[in-house]
Amino acid sequence: MNIALFSDSYLPTKSGIVTVVIQLREILQQMGHHVVIVTVSNMDPSYKEEPDPCVLRVESVPSPVGDNQYVGRPDTDEVLAFLKKNNVEIIHSHTEFFMGACAIKCGKILNIPVIASTHTMWEDYYRYYFSFGRFVPRWVVRKIVKAVYKKFYAFINVSEKARNYFLQPFMLPKTPSTVIPNATDTKKFVDLNITEDDKNALRESLHISRDDTVVLYVGRVVEEKRVEELLQVMKRVVKGRDNIKMLFVGSGAMEARLKKETAEAGLQDKIIFAGFIDWFKLSRYYAISHIFVTTSLSEMHSMTVLEAMVMHLPIVCRRDTSFTDTIFPGENGYMVDTDEEMDEKIYELSDDRKKCHEMGEKSYALSKNFLLDVHGKKTVAFYREVLKHYPKPVTSDELAAAVQNYASLGV
């Protein structure tokens, strides 16, 4: 197949969507498909990339959704010429903005299907991203999201949470969709060459002892991830145990504020901010940690939770349907109903290293449900079912059956 991926998130920016797009392109190519990308300009002069005839960079402007984020303003004629040159048969959009609108327009002109992945729960995000967001009623956001997604032929939900949201009567219960969860490329992510000396050197650089229990958060340090609430949890936790250290890995608008609060509380030796770490080096930070935590309630299907599972870590998080296929309470971690309940679960795992290890091993076993090659095969099965029916309608049941039976389809 000849496939085009459209995205407002791409290198050198780092985010979950960037990881998803890069991994999807690579696994599809490994399966023998021709994949091209239409994405935003490289706005970082320090990032040097080799010319790639399969990547079209379009004019871009800064996005309101965060630092180093951009929104593409594509020229339809330029994009059409690129798609025609590559004989694209199906377009897969990973964005709802101008780039998504361009994908839909090009699909109509070329008479090919345009499908989308649902990566963002905009109801949970818009109040943080837009200065006027707190004055906009939720129903307005729902109406906008509905107007955008109803133009796609079908879409892939990355979790049951996403699927259930779009199945609600006020959204798009009749638009065909199914669930294909995110995956992680363990071959690239896990650093097999890391030694004990490497781990010790990293601990020393962070002022962490081998005897410390390291509690880890990886992700953007921004308000919508509820990092302020996580800091309050960990301020209580580290005060209650001398051997617990909290490690924040990531950057964002809230980072300076959290550092200031930590210093004012006199806890800068126990709550550590490592800043942004390149994805290819990230596994080392998981490797020196014992417990992964998040208080976020705005996830669709967390990539960092998958990474923690691959790295044998138990998870402690707030109860949310985005985690129901990755976290099984009492088996590989805990989901709790309040921030305050997290304290007890973190203490339990810190005090009982045997249980912590056993739950971490269960996380690793469960992570095999999210291998990248399986994700690629399911996505191709989805594409093929779409192409089989287009331009006539396809049903959610037909898409689900194709994805569930991917192994028998020879994809």
> What domains lie within the chain, and their CATH numbers?
2-183+372-408 (3.40.50.2000), 186-368 (3.40.50.2000)
State whether the Cα torsion 376-377-381-384 is positive or negative. positive
Task: For 141-175, write each residue's pLDDT tens digit.
Answer: 899 899 999 999 999 999 999 999 999 999 999 99
* pLDDT score, position 67: 62
pLDDT classification of 409: cutoffs 50, 70, 90: low
With contact defined as beta carbons under 8 Å apart, do 346 and 230 qualify?
A: no
C-alpha span between 1 and 382 (Å, rounded) = 12
With contact defined as beta carbons under 8 Å apart, do 247 and 293 qualify?
A: no
Number of separate helices (H) and strands (E) present in the chain: 16, 15
Apex CA 145: angle with CA 118 and CA 78, to 5°? 75
Picking from 52, 110, 45, the residue whose alpha carbon sits closest to that of residue 81 is 110
C-alpha span between 39 and 59 (Å, rounded) = 9
pTM of the predicted model, to two decimals?
Answer: 0.90
Tokens of residue 388, six digits: 């089989």
Mean pLDDT of the chain: 94
- Scored b (16 or more CB within 10 A) or e, 163-182 reads bebbbeeebbeebbbbbbbb
With contact defined as beta carbons under 8 Å apart, do 398 and 385 qualify?
A: yes
Instruction: Check pLDDT > 80 for residue 119.
Output: yes
pLDDT classification of 86: cutoffs 50, 70, 90: very high
* pLDDT score, position 45: 77
pLDDT top residue among 280 and 202: 202
Based on the number of CB atoms within 10 Å of its own CB, is 397 exposed (0-12), middle (13-18) or buried (19 or more)?
A: exposed
Picking from 181, 238, 159, 234, the residue whose alpha carbon sits closest to that of residue 24 is 181
- Element at 346 (helix H, strand E): helix 340-351
Instruction: Check pLDDT > 90 for residue 130.
Output: no
Instruction: Check pLDDT > 90 for residue 47.
Output: no
| Residue whose entry in the numeric block shows the structure tokens 């004019």 | 59
Average pLDDT over residues 207-225: 96
Of all residues in the chain, what percent are helix, strand and coil, respectively (each to 5)? 45, 15, 35
pLDDT classification of 122: cutoffs 50, 70, 90: confident
C-alpha span between 263 and 269 (Å, rounded) = 9
C-alpha span between 55 and 57 (Å, rounded) = 6
Task: For 288-331, write each residue's pLDDT tens digit.
Answer: 999 999 999 999 999 999 999 999 999 999 999 999 999 999 99
